[in-house]
């Protein structure tokens, strides 16, 4: 029974992340939403450009490598099981509230993501982890990445995503109004709802539950309607870091994730990724596996993080946990074994050239990766 409940929770949470729940919220437990209905303001055109829990937000590759053919894939990973455990015992309505991600709705689970993506545009006073416990390794790793790769990286910043922003009415209103495109009236009404829900459901831990920040991603330097210019950035969510710490990967997961997201910044600069363009499963898989490879090459290289085999095995597990089996989804990241295979290939590439000590250019690395990709996706 315990395992059944855990799988049920995992399934429910997977649905929460991937789709909005069509069931309307019970307005008795959500009093400030009681007067909202389908005739209210719709989001302004162009609002909500970021889609949380998708890979790299409106990117396109210049070519794709055929259709994605399903390969053997186990959907249940330690990361997914950990996530399911975090919502075991929740009241049903608490889950329904967070699964409400339809356009024009509350979308409470996405607030921290949108706020950080749109409005955190300064590296000053940034910290990573609930108590700043990852600040030093992430800052150190970021400096090393900028030295290692041959791209213009002075304009890239790293910012932390914190669920505590849900406690700040000003930030919540701004995100609803500017980020989601809601009217001032609707933004204020929904901000009241968020405050009420935090009090109604202690499961949310006043906003610091990992569900609100279970993500890490890269965003390009670009302008968004209603928001303005957004700095190129890498976003590290508290919940994401907490998950890997509790799974036993706290020693490598921050660096591995940072290096992966830096790989996406490389892709933006090389034109492999472009803002505002659509993904297909094969395109998304290619850029995600390439980012894994960029990361593993840096982490393994003598002039990069120079991780030894024991730590290499750990970061391989980190990439394995981030895979998925959604072969027909436009945000498909590659299967668990494919992600590990991409990292192993890059590790071997770095290890084979260890004596020479040279660093491949980012463009040459991409060329070599594309040549190997047909073998990687067979895994």
The CA dihedral of 107, 158, 13, 177, to the nearest 10 degrees, is: 0
pLDDT (tens digit per residue) in 43-83? 333 344 444 333 332 232 222 233 455 656 667 778 888 98
> How far is the C-alpha of 26 from the C-alpha of 87, rounded, in Å?
20
Q: Which whole number is the average pLDDT over 229-256?
A: 94
Q: What is the pLDDT of residues 266-313, one digit of tens each?
A: 999 999 998 876 888 888 889 999 999 999 999 999 999 998 878 888
* pLDDT tens digits, one per residue of 193-228: 999 999 999 999 999 999 999 999 999 998 888 888
- Could you tell me the residue ranges of all domains in the chain? 69-376
Which residues have C-beta within 8 Å of that of residue 249, sequence separation ≥ 6?
Answer: 314, 315, 317, 318
Residue 88 tokens, joined = 């075991």
pTM beyond 0.85: no
The answer to whether the CB of 135 falls within 8 A of the CB of 129 is yes
CA separation for the pair 216, 234 (Å, rounded)? 7
Q: Characterize 79-96 residue by residue with b for buried, 16 or more Cβ atoms within 10 angstroms of its Cβ, and e for exposed.
A: bbebbbebbeebeebbbb
**How high is the pLDDT of residue 14?**
47
pLDDT value, residue 72: 64
| Nearest to 200, CA basis, from 27, 357, 64 | 27
The whole-number average pLDDT for the span 335-349 is 90
């Amino acid at each position: 029974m315990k395992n059944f409940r855990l799988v049920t929770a995992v399934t429910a949470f997977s649905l929460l992340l991937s789709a909005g729940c069509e069931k309307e919220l019970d307005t008795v437990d959500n009093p400030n939403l009681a007067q909202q209905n389908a005739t209210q303001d719709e989001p302004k055109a162009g609002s909500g450009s970021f889609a949380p829990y998708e890979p790299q937000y409106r990117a396109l590759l210049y070519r794709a490598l055929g259709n994605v053919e399903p390969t053997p894939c186990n959907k249940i990973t330690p990361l997914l099981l950990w996530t399911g455990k975090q919502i075991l015992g929740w009241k049903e309505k608490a889950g329904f509230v967070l699964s409400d991600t339809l356009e024009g709705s509350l979308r409470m689970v996405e607030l921290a993501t949108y706020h950080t993506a749109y409005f955190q545009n300064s590296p000053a006073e940034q910290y990573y982890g609930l108590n700043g416990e990852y600040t030093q390794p992430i800052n150190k790793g970021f400096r090393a990445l900028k030295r290692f790769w041959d791209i213009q990286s002075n304009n890239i910043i790293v910012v932390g995503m914190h669920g505590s922003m849900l406690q700040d009415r000003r930030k919540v209103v701004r995100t609803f109004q500017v980020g989601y495109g809601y009217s001032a009236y609707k933004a204020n009404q929904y901000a009241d709802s968020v405050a009420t829900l935090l009090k109604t459901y202690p499961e949310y831990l006043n906003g610091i539950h990992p569900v609100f920040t279970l993500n890490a991603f890269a965003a390009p330097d670009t302008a968004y309607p209603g928001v303005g210019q957004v700095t190129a950035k890498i976003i590290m969510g508290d919940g994401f870091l907490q998950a890997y710490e509790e799974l036993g990967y706290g020693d490598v997961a921050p660096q591995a994730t940072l290096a992966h997201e830096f790989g996406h910044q490389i892709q933006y600069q090389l034109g492999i990724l472009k803002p505002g363009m659509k993904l297909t499963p094969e395109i998304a898989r290619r850029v995600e596996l390439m980012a894994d490879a960029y990361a593993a090459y840096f982490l393994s290289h003598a002039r990069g993080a120079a991780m030894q085999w024991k730590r290499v095995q750990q970061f391989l597990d980190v990439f394995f946990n981030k895979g998925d089996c959604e072969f027909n989804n436009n945000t498909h990241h590659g299967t668990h074994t494919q992600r590990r295979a991409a990292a192993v290939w890059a590790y071997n590439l770095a290890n084979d050239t260890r004596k020479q000590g040279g660093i491949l250019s980012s463009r040459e690395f991409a060329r070599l990766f594309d040549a190997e990709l047909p073998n990687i996706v067979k895994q």
